[in-house]
Structure 1
Amino acid sequence: MIINPNLYPAKKNGRSGYIDRTGKIIIDFEFDFFGSRDFSEGLASVMVRDKAGFIDESGNFIIEPKYEMALGFSEGLALVIYKGKYSYIDRNGNFIIQPNFYRCDSFKDGLAWVMDVVKLKSNFIDKTGKIKFSERYYLNSKYNEGLINCEEEGGWGFIDSSDRFIIPPIYKYARPFIENKAAVLLKNSSTRKATKKALYGFINKNNDIIIDPKFQGADIRFSEGLCAVWNNTYGYINQDGEIVIPYEFALGAHFNEGMAVIKPKGRNKKYGCIDTEGNITIEPIFTHIEDFKNGLSEVIIGDNYDNFHYGYINKQGEYIWEPTR
């Protein structure tokens, strides 16, 4: 998925358009809503009169709005909903896989997660729509770094693209691999006898425990060499499992462009950002903060949805697009 980092979705007077990183309007505010928001592979989905279509980076419709929903293009295909069913289209708007699914994800490395009916089990398909694996519990699975975390017979492990368990299903739960590490919950990790809380550790792709299980919770991924972990409050560990940013946050997210979204402890329910040293770089005054993208982050202010206002800040916390609806 090739994303244009220089176009940012913005809102003005209830309408949607795109700005650049200086706040200059690039695509006028003439759409009702965003679908994929970001431009990926040169196109973005937007909503007009409750229908989604795709525009190019000049704002011209390439695929006319006729879908109930549309996400961005990934590996040449876009996920859409048509007549209540999920499916995939090409850049000409042609159905490559007929609308037949209850839920789906975008393609990644030639595979996409799908669910055909409402049930606990699901599967992955290739770009021809062919089912690739034995049906297992895939609802919380992701295909990352060549492996899929999945459950079989009450245990979690990792399979490869040939449907073989590379890491056997011996864990109580396993998160996807990111930066060659995966957070796992050991079945016998209730080492705190008083609290009986199972603990997370980290493995590598050889199934070696590289960070001992000593965390009540762990973020889905390492990012920029750090990972948020939880022991009643959030802190951050390095790749050796050492706490390098103390447990002092009510919430800690992953790092992106040197910044991580946090929420302080206490009554303040607002969000701010820290740097990789743990210093507050963006004061916690926002209702929501997105990951930084090419130096900018979309933020929300307002106490409830009816008065949410959307703007953009730079890494100094300065507005380059004042919050508006």
Structure 2
Amino acid sequence: MNDNLFQVTKDGKSGFINDKGQIVIDLTFDGVSSFSEGLARIFVDDKVGFIDKQGNIQVEPKFDTVSGFSEGMAYATIGDKYGYIDKSGNFIIEPMFYRCWAFENGYALVMQEVVSTGCFIDNFGTIKLNGRNFLVSKYSEGLINCSERGDWGHIDINGNFIIPPNYKYTREFSEGKAAIAPKKINGKANRKDLYAFINKGNEIIIPPLFTGADIHFSEGMCAVFDSGYGYINAKGQLIIPCDLCLGQHFSEGLAVIKEDAKIKKYGYIDKTGTIAIKPTFTLAESFKNGLASVTIGKKYEEFKHGYIDKSGNYIWEPTR
């Protein structure tokens, strides 16, 4: 049995379908979220809990806020402080934070107070790294993009600069590459914020030719901007011309795009730049497990949500 399940809502109640569009968990909840690590959030009377893929309640709805699970933990609140729970719903890191993010690679970014610059904790709640401007940073592929006195570089989890803070901006590493904006290009100030890409040896492997767009690599491609959106490959070659109104990252071989700013409809392209699914949707999300969530309707009050396959056929007709 295929255990890829997808959240749906009809007549104000939510549940799950399989990739054939068949209801497998009845639409009885006030709201649901996608599954992560075998559990999905359910919303009942303004409280949040979890069910398994058979629809059994594993954690009673008792939290005010809770995330999906990542590395066995989810951040949650009862009241106005965040902590982390296990899959039994027990706090293993007590609520003490102003804000939390999901665990990745054994660490999570947290803010202790509203004016905090943030810090990283391990899965015991011990502060591993406390300091600089982590609010726009991410621990990815062993490094954190980080600023020091307004200049950006990358540090390791011990706070040591692996890539010195010599750049105007940096982004997180993805597929072994990170976008950086040099302060100067050919001796002149980088006023257009053009981005290059470096490897973990701080060597420029793609020169600064484009401004930021999706700004990270996915499936060997990266969205870039030059009067419009296009895509480069891992060698920095422009594979799809910058003719799009919007381009997002590739997932399962397709990327969400918008061709025309006036029409304001979303569709999908393949890695050759060919339209794979015509732009007919009000909103569109990336493909995951063979399906993509799409939205139709002219205004929010009329929005309906459905799922399409990679041929653009509805597996679940839009409902609300």
TM-score, reference length from structure 2: 0.96
How far did residue 12 of structure 1 move?
0.9
User: What is the number of residues matched between the two proteins?
Assistant: 319
3-state SS of paired residue (1:306): helix
Distance 2:58 2:214 in 1: 38
3-state SS of paired residue (1:65): strand
| 1:148/1:196 CA distance change after superposition, 3 Å | closer
Q: How do residues 2-151 of structure 1 correspond to structure 2 at under 5 angstroms?
A: 6-34=4-32, 37-119=33-115, 121-151=117-147
| 1:5/1:182 CA distance change after superposition, 3 Å | farther
Q: How do residues 149-298 of structure 1 correspond to structure 2 at under 5 angstroms?
A: 149-189=145-185, 196-298=191-293
Q: Deviations over 1:114-161 (max 9, x none)?
A: 011112611111112111113110111111111111111211111112
Distance 1:192 1:153 in 2: 21
Task: Assess if the C-alpha contact under 8 Å between 1:300 and 1:309 holds in 2.
Answer: yes
3-state SS of paired residue (2:153): strand
Distance 2:191 2:157 in 1: 36
Distance 1:259 1:182 in 2: 22
Task: Assess if the C-alpha contact under 8 Å between 2:154 and 2:163 holds in 1.
Answer: yes
Query: Identity percentage over the alignment?
Result: 55
Q: Deviations over 1:219-254 (max 9, x none)?
A: 231111111000121011111111110011111000
Q: Which is further off, 17-26 or 295-304?
A: 295-304
> What is the root-mean-square deviation of aligned Cα atoms in Å?
1.6
Q: Deviations over 1:1-29 (max 9, x none)?
A: xxx97111111111110000000001000
Q: Are residue 319 (structure 1) and residue 317 (structure 2) matched?
A: no
Structure 2 unaligned regions, length at least 5? none
Structure 1 unaligned regions, length at least 5? none
Task: Assess if the C-alpha contact under 8 Å between 1:23 and 1:321 holds in 2.
Answer: yes
Distance 1:120 1:214 in 2: 35
| 1:29/1:217 CA distance change after superposition, 3 Å | same
* Amino acid aligned to 1:211: I
* Amino acid aligned to 1:286: F
Task: Assess if the C-alpha contact under 8 Å between 2:118 and 2:130 holds in 1.
Answer: no
| 1:192/1:33 CA distance change after superposition, 3 Å | farther
How far did residue 76 of structure 1 move?
1.3
